[in-house]
Chain A
Amino acid sequence: MAQDKPSPSVSLAEVEGGYTAAEYRSGFERFSDALTKLSVWLAMGIILLMTGIVAVDLVMRNLANQSLMIVDEVVGQLTVAMAFLGISYGLRRHALLRVELIYRRLSAKAGAVVRICFDLASLFYTVLVIWFGIRLVDSSMRLEVVSLSLLQTPMWIPQMVIPVGGGILILALVAELMRDTRRLVAVWREGGRR
């Protein structure tokens, strides 16, 4: 399912440009892009950290019969962080999977309208994710939930990645909505031809 090549049926980064596209960007879009870049750098750091922690623990356990004892907990949390910090970049690069069987056959005008509908539906879902993420953080804080490992991490700290990463995703979706609205206006003026 991992995608890295263009195809007529699946939208990918190379197909639709992402950062490489020379296009007008409003101040808000530049701000959103800057946050997305910052979050993807953090996500890259997380990948290196995960690689290091897990490999060191494996070697220590097999060669010195010692373990860091916290790897399962920390790496699970880092996986969530990597996903939430990296998803806005996937969106910006149009690297999220989508089926384009019908979408590709739409006129430019209908396609632009459909894109806006998808942006709004995705925004609605992301708002729900953030809302229930905040409730999770809030309940962990109120109930003083801590992890079961030696670290006894207050769980609201790693769980904060849901509202934070979700917030960056919301900004990226709003920026996407702005770009798609401009595209709709442009095709409307051109008469809706592909």
Chain B
Amino acid sequence: MSWGMEFAIFGGFLLVMILSGMWLPFAIGLGAVISLVVTNGISSLNALGFVMWGSVNSITLAAIPLFVFMAELLSRSGISARFYQGLSVVVRRLPGGLLQTNIAGCALFAAISGSSIATAASIGRVAMPQLDARNYNAKMACGSIAAGGTLGILIPPSITLIIYGTLTELSIAQLFMAGMVPGILLALFFMIYTGIRCSLNPSLAPRDEEVVDRGQAVRSLLGLLPFIGLIFVVLGGIYFGIATPSEAAALGASLSLLLCAGFRALSWKVLYDALEGTIRISASLIFIIMAAILFSYSIEITGIGRALAESVESLQLTSFEFIAFIVILFAVLGCVLDGGAMVVLMTPIFFPMLASLGVDPIWFGVLIVVLVEFGMLTPPFGLNLFVVNSISGRSLGTVVAGCIPYYVIMLAFIVLLALFPAIALWLPSQM
């Protein structure tokens, strides 16, 4: 059987299982096992135990539950709400008022949360009642939270970058730093757009008449300090090489526990809920990673990956054409697959091709995250759309309409990233 036929059968079988609704960890794992048996016989499964054990027996992967635990603690204890209130005093004077607070809040919350959904949900739950009470434009309100939430997987820590780094054996610390400048820039672009739009049409964001005295403003700013301190310790620890991402995550989770206790927001219920949420999210993710590594192993053993890379080489694509192909592929796949599934399925296929095309693998990781962010905002699988839809009670159409300007900004940002790779690569080169 030719590799093309094998790839078609294997890929087709996997796609049918995934699209028909089978749980992803089982669908990907079973697809990998069947492809191994069909192409190399039952004996090819002998190494399955070692591959499974080796794939997840890693302190690097421990960063996932530890970062999730940190974000769950801060979100469930209500500390993220205090942080939003404090930030609103600082940012709401900008044109756009609380809409700017939403984006800045998401960008800062992203620095302690690795998930877009957690970021959009945490900020959205606090922001939506205030935006409704002040009669902000619904589309702008929903769009700013949904788009701001996507920053969760670009600004470090990022669960998507940990998964990409695990599959490609790249440095997670370097990937995190590569996401930092693009994440901040994207947040700034979102804020500039919001400011211009609200300056042109002030009815979108009514001016806040509430007078904040100096004492209250100072107290709000001081209230932000512990949160900023936590971000500095976690990200600074990684940047200055004091801590690995897993160590920074454990330190961040420990400090979050202390912060919750300090704010008298730590109860058994908060701790239980945070741990329960952590297990629910992390166990499933790590099982998906285990299945994805089996998938990667099967692609290597069956020779499909090598053959695919050779055939792409024979096409003599330029790196620009390759990137354009990836962008189109992710946009199309984003209509049928969730972003995380795209990363675990596409990375083992395309990563081996990067070296011959001269594409920097760290930069490619950032590109993939921006494409996944884009997918988080596009129907029918844009999870952030559903988060905001559920929190705000607005129709899905309103949320999608609110996101349209952010699609344009993100597409323009992808072009900018392709033209100036240093946006992503400068900071890791300084480490």
Contact = CB atoms under 8 A, between A and B. Distances in A.
Interface string A110-149: 0000100010011011101100110110010000000000
B61 to A, nearest CB: 5
B49 interface: yes
A51 B282 contact: no
A4 interface: yes
Contact of B279 (A40, A97, A136): A40
B22 A5 contact: no
DSSP majority for the B interface? helix
B323 to A, nearest CB: 23
B53 interface: yes
Nearest to B21: A103
Nearest to A95: B280
A1 interface: yes
Contacts of B283: 43, 82-87, 89-90
Interface stretch (A6-14, A26-34, A178-186): A6-14
B121 A89 contact: no
Interface in B9-58: 17-26, 29-30, 33, 45-46, 48-50, 52-53, 56-58
A125 B27 CA distance: 9
B357 interface: no
Nearest to A7: B386
Contacts of A129: 29, 48, 52
B411 interface: no
B45 A9 contact: no
A162 interface: yes
Interface in B294-341: 336-341
Nearest to B163: A1
A83 B45 contact: no
The 9 closest A-B pairs by CB, nearest first: A1-B340, A86-B283, A103-B21, A136-B49, A7-B386, A54-B250, A83-B286, A132-B48, A132-B49
17 contacts: A1-B338, A4-B118, A7-B385, A47-B66, A50-B62, A51-B66, A51-B250, A54-B59, A77-B57, A79-B58, A83-B282, A83-B286, A86-B282, A86-B283, A100-B21, A122-B22, A162-B53
Interface of A: 1-11, 13, 40, 43-44, 47-48, 50-55, 57-59, 62, 71-72, 75-80, 82-87, 89-91, 93, 95-104, 114, 118, 121-122, 124-126, 128-129, 132-133, 135-136, 139, 158-159, 162
Interface of B: 17-26, 29-30, 33, 45-46, 48-50, 52-53, 56-59, 61-62, 65-66, 68-69, 114-115, 117-118, 121, 159-160, 163, 242-243, 246-247, 249-251, 253-254, 257, 272, 275-288, 290, 336-341, 343, 380-381, 383, 385-387, 390-391
